């Protein structure tokens, strides 16, 4: 895939995601994604794992995280 690839749809995302994939998909900065990686999952952090010094996220884990964020918002209303 070329560097200009935009990840705007769920189908365009690979099974293992980088911060760039997530930032483009959610429309947030890469810095914000890395801040979410640092947070504990119980406090709203995105579940991730290390490959060397790089962080990666399983697509299924991102789907679950999005679902959980929506549930928390619904419960707070």
Using the predicted structure, report yes or no on whether residue 2 has a pLDDT greater than 60.
no
Give the residue extent of every domain in the chain: 10-76
Tens of pLDDT along 11-35? 999 999 999 999 999 999 999 999 9
* pTM score, whole prediction: 0.88
| For residues 30-46, average pLDDT | 97
Question: Please, are residues 56 and 16 in contact by the beta-carbon 8 Å criterion?
Answer: yes
Using the predicted structure, report yes or no on whether residue 10 has a pLDDT greater than 50.
yes
pLDDT value of residue 74: 92
pLDDT value of residue 4: 63
Tens of pLDDT along 49-76? 999 999 999 999 999 999 999 999 899 8
Residues 6+ apart with CB under 8 A from 54: 18
């Amino acid at each position: 895939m070329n560097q200009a690839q935009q990840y705007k749809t769920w189908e365009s995302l690979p099974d293992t995601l980088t911060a760039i994939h997530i930032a483009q998909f959610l429309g947030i900065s890469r810095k914000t994604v890395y801040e979410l990686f640092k947070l504990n999952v119980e406090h709203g952090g995105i579940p991730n794992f290390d490959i060397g010094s790089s962080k990666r996220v399983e697509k299924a884990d991102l789907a679950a995280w999005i679902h959980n964020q929506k549930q928390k918002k619904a419960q707070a209303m």
